[in-house]
A and B are shown apart, each in its own frame.
Chain A
Amino acid sequence: MSASGAEGQALHAVPEVATEKQTIAQAVRDAMLEEMERDERVIVLGEDVGVDGGVFRATDGLIERFGAERVIDTPLAESAIIGMSVGLAATGFRPIAEIQFMGFVYPAINQLFAHAARMRNRTRGTLSCPMVVRMPYGGGIHPPEHHSESYEALFLNTPGFKVVVPSNPYDAKGLLISAIRDDDPVLFMEPKRVYRAFREAVPAEAYTVPLGRAAVAREGTDVTLIAWGAMVRVCLDASEVLAREDINAEVVDLRTLNPLDRETIISSVVKTGRAVVVHEAPRTGGFGAEISAQIHEHAMLQLEAPVQRVAGFDVVFPLAHNEKLYLPSRDRIVKAVEKVLAF
């Protein structure tokens, strides 16, 4: 099934411009290419982003086009990638830093939390860090240890960042362009599980998808499924199963986690009266808890059942053998929906 495939409805209006069927990885690359063409302050840095074109090929061909001064292969040092980006961003560049896998972001946490997120506030706007940190995240590709994590909750409890997670190629390009043009640090989490899982029509030129706006990926009336990144497709999949039981699920693709589009969430829940939040990260302290709290704060009287969470377990992300057992599945989502409907 493609996101705009036969069974589902199109996630967005088909643009009336030249398009190309692209994967998320290609759309991400094109977003950087367009912005580097447009704005010479935009540079790319990270491990293997140059000659190799990135381990997921997300920076493929950029070094040939823009040279080694704008597509910078760095030493293997995550803290330096972010710390130097702070120095670059505060003095006029717009760096796009790649952390090869989100599981490797820990050495850079000090630079992200103590500096990138705080620079504007602590200098009262005199200096800022307009930078994008691209991080492939999430499970589902049978990788070695530390290659499957979803750490969004860490960053959502740290004011100063914007946190963006596309679920499809069209949004990936438009959101990344918005992120690059944004004047604040944006953490751009790329769902590597669906990097190349499907193609969809993506306009050849630059366009933006606004940050802070969710999308209704599927309209429905009985229950609201709230998800982001790779989990959106699992929710769409579950909706098809539910549809066969005459259960009409609405799927809200958050796209941006901070700032959160509360309005879209609440208006959907007000309509359906039921909500299930789905994410890969462990359940306890996950962003699902925040969404559930906000729904209770703003729509409690419209709720027909307590909000349910379908999330990763509170365990270490397992190695390849048990990966499927860990990740929220179509069936788990269907069961959670049945539970809120039966309440």
Chain B
Amino acid sequence: MPRTRVYEAVTERLEILDTEGRVDDALMPEIDTSRIRDLYRDMVLMRTFDEKALKLQRQGRMGTWPPIKGQEAVQAGVALAMGENDWLIPAFREHGIMVLRGVPLHLVYAYWAGDERGSSFPEDVRCFPVAVPVGSQWQHGAGVGLSLKLRGEDAVAVTFGGDGSTSEGDFHEAVNCAGVFGAKTVFVIQNNQWAISIPLHKQTAAETLAQKAHAYGLPGIQVDGNDVFAVFTAAVEAIERARRGDGPSLIEAVTYRLGDHTTADDASRYRGEEEVEKWEARDPIIRLRRYLDHQGLWDDDQETILREEAQSWVDAQIKVLEEMPPQEPEEMFTSMYAAMPPHVAEQMGELIQETRS
């Protein structure tokens, strides 16, 4: 009756691009230089519309907004690795990748400004609406991945969540079930270190979040989430694996929430300025800009043009947002059911009468 080792796992961490913009040539993925410039543009665009949303919020033109500042590389890297028909199942800090996947920015703004039409995406955009109940979206990601597998579709489901959501039961059920069913799902954890005020070490005693995948029989990898090349490389591996039918996998992207949890939060209550400064030095956008500079792929003129273009594109989206006609009161009722039941129709009638009298 010996005591033997029945299972051992090693969790890898991948880093390719350092804070000075130097890359590990052996690990550097093959990406066209034009695509690398696009990655940079995408990340600057995200930063621009995120900062703009904060301004709008302060002006009373936006509701509560969860900023994505600092997490642009995770979202741009995964977006670049996704195929046209792949599904995105976001949580609520994924505006960047949602926009890259085709969700019009004015709709993202509309949702956070308090208008349900912001979750009514164009038909060809394969994206779930924002999921606010923490961790619940992981289950949808598993379900969509199973759906694609059962239908034999050449598409995968990419689902996102934060470090805090890995403490929810739904995370464990979803990863476990995806493993059992061989769902075509890629789980991406944006480990931004903080779940409102709770730091990662109070969220789990585990050394990494990636290792949790191993308990459910999935490959799990940790990447430097502020390194867009590492994120892209891991995402390509995971997405290709799922697409081949070899099953789901999990990516832990270690990043940092440079902003508050939302505009209703004040992060200075629970974390020090030093920590934030340390992470500002690891800013994913600065890092990629340094890489582009080293490679002679970018200059200050291009930067000026990009910033101006980003700003005017965002301004144009705000114009679209603010030109949306207000919702009719009955829109609260008309999408409740495929066919409106009599009691709902009756209540809708009451509201219409009230609003028009």
Interface of A toward B, CB cutoff 8 Å: 43, 69, 72, 74-75, 77, 79-80, 82-88, 90-93, 107, 110-111, 114-115, 119-128, 159-160, 162, 182-184, 212, 258-260, 262
- Whether B336 lies near A85 (C-beta < 8 A) is no
0/1 string, B32-68, CB within 8 A of A gives 1: 0000000000000000000000000000000000000
Smallest Cβ-Cβ distance to A258: which chain B residue: B341
0/1 string, B118-138, CB within 8 A of A gives 1: 011101000011011100101
With contact pairs A69-B150, A83-B174, A110-B170 given, residues A124 and B139 touching in the complex (Cβ less than 8 Å): no
Question: In the complex, A84→B137 CA distance in Å?
Answer: 9
Interface flag for B144 (CB, 8 Å): yes
Interface flag for B151 (CB, 8 Å): yes
Given contacts A83-B136, A159-B344, 8 further A-B contacts (CB under 8 A): A87-B141, A87-B143, A88-B144, A91-B147, A110-B170, A124-B117, A183-B338, A259-B341
Interface flag for B280 (CB, 8 Å): no
Q: B138 to chain A: which residues have CB within 8 Å?
A: 83
Q: A124 to chain B: which residues have CB within 8 Å?
A: 116-117, 119-120, 331, 335
Q: A123 to chain B: which residues have CB within 8 Å?
A: 116, 119-121, 129, 335
Contact of B123 among A90, A122, A126 (CB under 8 A): A126
Query: Which residues of chain B (168-184) have a CB below 8 Å from chain A?
Result: 169-170, 173-174, 176-177, 180-181
Interface of B toward A, CB cutoff 8 Å: 87, 89, 116-117, 119-121, 123, 128-129, 131-133, 136, 138-148, 150-151, 157, 169-170, 173-174, 176-177, 180-181, 331, 335-339, 341-344
- Whether A184 lies near B337 (C-beta < 8 A) is yes
Pairs A–B under 8 Å by Cβ, sample size 22: A79-B173, A83-B138, A83-B142, A83-B170, A83-B173, A84-B139, A84-B146, A86-B139, A87-B157, A90-B144, A110-B136, A111-B139, A119-B129, A121-B116, A124-B116, A124-B119, A126-B120, A128-B338, A183-B338, A183-B339, A259-B341, A260-B343
Q: A82 to chain B: which residues have CB within 8 Å?
A: 139
Closest 4 pairs between A and B when the two form their complex, measured CB to CB: A87-B143, A83-B139, A84-B143, A259-B341
B117, B143, B145, B148, most chain A CB atoms within 10 A = B143
- Whether B141 lies near A122 (C-beta < 8 A) is no
- Whether A87 lies near B336 (C-beta < 8 A) is no
- Whether A111 lies near B136 (C-beta < 8 A) is yes
Smallest Cβ-Cβ distance to A84: which chain B residue: B143
- Whether B342 lies near A259 (C-beta < 8 A) is yes
- Whether B128 lies near A93 (C-beta < 8 A) is no
Q: How far is the CB of A49 from chain B (nearest CB, A)?
A: 14
Q: How far is the CB of A278 from chain B (nearest CB, A)?
A: 22
Contact of B140 among A74, A83, A159 (CB under 8 A): A83
Question: In the complex, A83→B144 CA distance in Å?
Answer: 10
Q: A160 to chain B: which residues have CB within 8 Å?
A: 336-337
Q: B341 to chain A: which residues have CB within 8 Å?
A: 212, 258-259
- Whether B343 lies near A75 (C-beta < 8 A) is no
Q: A69 to chain B: which residues have CB within 8 Å?
A: 150
With contact pairs A110-B133, A120-B337, A124-B335 given, residues A84 and B150 touching in the complex (Cβ less than 8 Å): no
Question: In the complex, A127→B338 CA distance in Å?
Answer: 11
- Whether A87 lies near B144 (C-beta < 8 A) is yes
- Whether A125 lies near B147 (C-beta < 8 A) is no
- Whether A90 lies near B128 (C-beta < 8 A) is yes
Q: B140 to chain A: which residues have CB within 8 Å?
A: 83-84, 86-87, 90, 115
Question: In the complex, A55→B165 CA distance in Å?
Answer: 33
Q: How far is the CB of A296 from chain B (nearest CB, A)?
A: 16
Q: A183 to chain B: which residues have CB within 8 Å?
A: 338-339
Q: A162 to chain B: which residues have CB within 8 Å?
A: 337
Q: How far is the CB of B90 from chain A (nearest CB, A)?
A: 13
Q: B133 to chain A: which residues have CB within 8 Å?
A: 110, 114-115
Question: In the complex, A322→B285 CA distance in Å?
Answer: 68
Question: In the complex, A82→B143 CA distance in Å?
Answer: 9
- Whether A87 lies near B120 (C-beta < 8 A) is no
With contact pairs A83-B139, A124-B119 given, residues A259 and B343 touching in the complex (Cβ less than 8 Å): yes
Q: How far is the CB of A66 from chain B (nearest CB, A)?
A: 12
Question: In the complex, A120→B340 CA distance in Å?
Answer: 12
B145, B173, B331, most chain A CB atoms within 10 A = B173
Q: B121 to chain A: which residues have CB within 8 Å?
A: 123, 126
Q: B181 to chain A: which residues have CB within 8 Å?
A: 72
Question: In the complex, A126→B133 CA distance in Å?
Answer: 20
Smallest Cβ-Cβ distance to B176: which chain A residue: A75
Contact of A88 among B116, B117, B143 (CB under 8 A): B143
Q: B144 to chain A: which residues have CB within 8 Å?
A: 87-88, 90-91
- Whether A120 lies near B174 (C-beta < 8 A) is no
Q: How far is the CB of A73 from chain B (nearest CB, A)?
A: 9
Q: How far is the CB of B317 from chain A (nearest CB, A)?
A: 19
Q: How far is the CB of B125 from chain A (nearest CB, A)?
A: 9
Q: How far is the CB of A291 from chain B (nearest CB, A)?
A: 13
- Whether B147 lies near A87 (C-beta < 8 A) is yes
Q: A84 to chain B: which residues have CB within 8 Å?
A: 139-140, 142-143, 146, 174, 177
Question: In the complex, A182→B144 CA distance in Å?
Answer: 21
Q: How far is the CB of A93 from chain B (nearest CB, A)?
A: 6
Question: In the complex, A162→B341 CA distance in Å?
Answer: 10
